[in-house]
Amino acid sequence: MKKQLILISIFLMCNMLANILVAQKLVVKANEPVAEIQPTMWGLFFEDINFAADGGIYAELVKNRSFEFYKPLMGWEVTPGGNYEGSVLVLNREEMLSSNPRYARVTVVDNDKPVTMKNSGFRGMGVKQGLQYNFSIWARQEAGSSIKLNIELQNSANENIGKAILIPVSDEWTKYEVSFTSSKTDSKASLVLTFEGKGILDVDMISLFPADTWKNRPGGLRADLVQMLYDMKPGFLRFPGGCIVEGHDLSVRYQWKKTVGNVEEREMIVNRWNNEFSHRLTPDYYQTFGLGFYEYFLLSRDLGAEPLPIINCGMACQFNTGELVPMDQLEPYIQDALDLIEFANGSIDTKWGKLRAEMGSPESFNMKFIGVGNEQWGPQYIERYIEFEKAIKAKYPEIIIVSGSGPFPDGEDFEFGMKALKELNAEIIDEHYYRPPQWFFDNATRYDSYDRHGPKIFAGEYAAQSVAIASPNNRNSWLTALSEAAFMTGLERNAEVVHLTSYAPLFAHVEGWQWTPDLIWFDNLRVYGTPNYYVQKLFANHRGSHVVPILLNGQAITGQEGLYATAVIDKSTNEVILKIVNNSESARKTSVQINGMKGILPNAKKIVLKADDLNAENSLDNPGNIYPAESQLKLKGNLVSADLDPMSLTIIVIKHK
Ligand code: AHR
């Protein structure tokens, strides 16, 4: 018995060695497409978590600009402080304007005793030398008052690096605007307003934006962060989450109607990630909705991505309160979904289509998908989903509905939800998996057995967790990225079933995060892509139009000796594209034979993403530590030899006539 075991071990080792030294032959059947790849295959999941929107992509530099935080002067340093003569009071006009009730009343008693208000933004304000900054304020000067406003940008050493003067003249609420240029670059600047003169000035919506926003839109988005998304060529943009859709309780659920129209009338609410994790409390995290549903649709259009809004289905987060709307009171929630479709697609003669046009887009956003609920589970979800589906399909049969299978990729709740949704002939089901890297390697075959005639799959949230789910110690290491790449070959091989996929969460501010790992990290001036980002980008940039078989010894390549591979053809660019993960510690010699494709050109492109250390990461200071490296490959007829580096992802792009 012992002898037998030794012999088997020797045989296996020889086999392995032979595989390493002798080129392994992979065969691509380029003329046998097995599935069409949806344009939505690789997309984006956006949620305002980790300062993704406020403090992140939404380029507003002033924090708590309208005094609506729980503590109205949070983020502001007022001198002289307290409710002293010559200072700042917070007033509430709820009866007149319930969406933006508070404003600040500044009283200056004497020319010699100016009042100052300083705002240090979201962990400081990132400003750039030579760039224009656009300041705006809503103000009302009490009759008989003569207050002048000095606006000053200060760097972290409290030096003046830009200034302007404003004299509000009207005793009615009026918006005033002025611009100035920063003379220095600083990631921790602040805005200092000095009120001089005498009298009373009411102020609200104090705002500062850089001029270099994405497409130079006033009040727009941070261009460097949007560029990272644009470069991925995403197929869709899912928004606004995530648990943020559900809210801790229903009172703070995401209500899209409160996020459209004039910015100063969008009712701000607490961000549900403000106090979710006791180890990462963020008391100054609120949602201003400056990035609201109109802006999300616009962003989708800019990115060339299908908009995929997710709507609350009458359930609050089941990890928190799990509040439910009684079934007989679900109607307003369903109406919100119907109105949203009208807002996105309706003619400008409809109520909501008209608002879209007034906001700047008479053209429809051509929305095709809607998600009902985020991460809900149990019979309560199914009964609510049925009502949404009925109403949406009755009015908009062309809209594709995305349903959810809950937070976990297996277990009782998952099985229950999947079974129920299949019985209902659900069109697309959203699955989430936040799992260890090994799970991703092991699950490269997850969808091989899914019913080709059942609901399609949206892998809507996934990320390998290096320590534990949502552990603050999780890292965006090369191991996590490599495991996701291996898993993604399984998604791609099963493109017949898997129609949409997205990594989550998307963004994180290095000083303002609650959840890690995340795809893209940034500070107030810089941004970097994690290795996971480059994996996503490489897959999305090489999507192809059809999956074709790639085989090793006649079998799909799903982890044999650490190899995972898929192949696609692109009918519009005349390409055969291979994606190969080598998850072993040894280099691999492979020779790939492309069958069934005539006119193959002799030069191919090879892109390798790798790191010697599985714990390696990128960072703000070393953003290119793990970065795709491009080189040329020569083909001999239909044969290409490719050496696969240890622990690497290799993309090979072969052209044909
Ligand atoms: O991506 C972070 C959170 O993970 C999402 O908000 C939620 O849907 C999931 O639990």
Looking up residue 302, the CATH number of its domain turns out to be 3.20.20.80
Nearest atom (ligand 1) to Cα of 45: 1
Residue 16 within any structural domain of the chain: no
Task: Tell me how far the alpha carbon of residue 243 lies from the centroid of ligand 1, in angstroms.
Answer: 5
Q: Which of 495, 528, 561 is the last residue of a domain?
A: 528
Residue 307 within any structural domain of the chain: yes
Task: Tell me how far the alpha carbon of residue 244 lies from the centroid of ligand 1, in angstroms.
Answer: 8
Looking at the fold, whether 503 and 626 belong to one and the same domain comes out as: no
Which residue in the block uniquely carries the two structure tokens 């805005």? 191
Residue 592 has pLDDT above 50, yes or no: yes
Residue 594 within any structural domain of the chain: yes
How far apart (Å, rounded) are the C-alpha atoms in residues 235 and 444? 22
How far apart (Å, rounded) are the C-alpha atoms in residues 376 and 19? 47
Residue 64 within any structural domain of the chain: no
Residue to mutate (ligand 1; options 315, 408, 432; most atoms within 8 A of CB): 432
Contact at 8 Å (CB) between 232 and 39? no
Residue 550 within any structural domain of the chain: yes
Task: Tell me how far the alpha carbon of residue 432 lies from the centroid of ligand 1, in angstroms.
Answer: 9
Residue 449, Cβ neighbours under 10 Å: how many? 8
The type of residue at 478 is W
Looking at the fold, whether 451 and 513 belong to one and the same domain comes out as: yes
Looking at the fold, whether 517 and 551 belong to one and the same domain comes out as: no
For residue 30, the domain's CATH number is 2.60.40.1180
Looking at the fold, whether 383 and 457 belong to one and the same domain comes out as: yes
Residue 292 has pLDDT above 80, yes or no: yes
Looking at the fold, whether 495 and 550 belong to one and the same domain comes out as: no
Looking at the fold, whether 322 and 431 belong to one and the same domain comes out as: yes
> How does pLDDT run across 190-232, given as a tens digit for each residue?
999 999 999 999 999 999 999 999 999 999 999 999 999 999 9
Report CA torsion sign: 424, 428, 433, 437: positive
> How does pLDDT run across 411-453, given as a tens digit for each residue?
999 999 999 999 999 999 999 999 999 999 999 999 999 999 9
How far apart (Å, rounded) are the C-alpha atoms in residues 593 and 412? 44
Task: Tell me how far the alpha carbon of residue 158 lies from the centroid of ligand 1, in angstroms.
Answer: 39
Report pLDDT for 15.
46
Nearest atom (ligand 1) to Cα of 242: 6
Torsion of CA 253, 304, 35, 407, to 10 degrees: -20
Q: Which of 463, 496, 528 is the last residue of a domain?
A: 528
Residue to mutate (ligand 1; options 254, 312, 375, 408; most atoms within 8 A of CB): 375
Residue 552 within any structural domain of the chain: yes
Residues designated catalytic? 375
Q: Which of 192, 210, 228 is the last residue of a domain?
A: 210
Task: Tell me how far the alpha carbon of residue 245 lies from the centroid of ligand 1, in angstroms.
Answer: 10
- In the predicted model, what is the mean pLDDT of residues 541-558? 98
Looking at the fold, whether 232 and 199 belong to one and the same domain comes out as: no
Domain that holds residue 157: 76-210
Q: Whose CA is nearest to atom 4 of ligand 1?
A: 242
Give the list of residues 6+ apart from residue 115 with CB closer than 8 angstroms, or none: 78, 79, 80, 86, 87, 88, 106, 107, 108, 194, 195
DSSP reduced 3-state for 171 = coil
Report pLDDT for 647.
98
Looking at the fold, whether 187 and 232 belong to one and the same domain comes out as: no
* Entry pTM: 0.96
Nearest atom (ligand 1) to Cα of 504: 1
Q: Whose CA is nearest to atom 7 of ligand 1?
A: 242
Residue 15 within any structural domain of the chain: no
Looking at the fold, whether 237 and 278 belong to one and the same domain comes out as: yes
Task: Tell me how far the alpha carbon of residue 435 lies from the centroid of ligand 1, in angstroms.
Answer: 13
> How does pLDDT run across 147-192, given as a tens digit for each residue?
999 999 999 999 999 999 999 999 999 999 999 999 999 999 999 9
Looking at the fold, whether 433 and 519 belong to one and the same domain comes out as: yes
Residue 67 within any structural domain of the chain: no
Domain tally, the chain: 3
Beta-strand (E) ranges in 80-159? Answer: 88-92, 102-108, 115-119, 125-127, 132-141, 146-154
* Ligand 1 first shell, C-beta below 6 A: 47, 49, 241-243, 374-375, 407, 461, 504-505, 515
Q: In percent, how much of the chain has pLDDT > 70? A: 96
Q: Whose CA is nearest to atom 8 of ligand 1?
A: 242
Residue to mutate (ligand 1; options 49, 239, 253, 514; most atoms within 8 A of CB): 49
For residue 82, the domain's CATH number is 2.60.120.260
Report pLDDT for 119.
98
User: Measuring CA to CA, which residue among 454, 499, 489, 484 is closest to residue 564?
Assistant: 489
Residue 84 has pLDDT above 90, yes or no: no
Report pLDDT for 85.
67
Residue 396, Cβ neighbours under 10 Å: how many? 17
Q: Whose CA is nearest to atom 2 of ligand 1?
A: 505
Report pLDDT for 95.
87
Residue 19 has pLDDT above 90, yes or no: no
Looking at the fold, whether 239 and 134 belong to one and the same domain comes out as: no
- Per-residue tokens: 30: 């380029």
Nearest atom (ligand 1) to Cα of 319: 10
Q: Report, in angstroms and rounded to the nearest whole number, the Rg of the chain calculated over CA atoms.
A: 28
Looking at the fold, whether 226 and 205 belong to one and the same domain comes out as: no
Report pLDDT for 86.
73
Q: Whose CA is nearest to atom 1 of ligand 1?
A: 505
- In the predicted model, what is the mean pLDDT of residues 271-290? 97
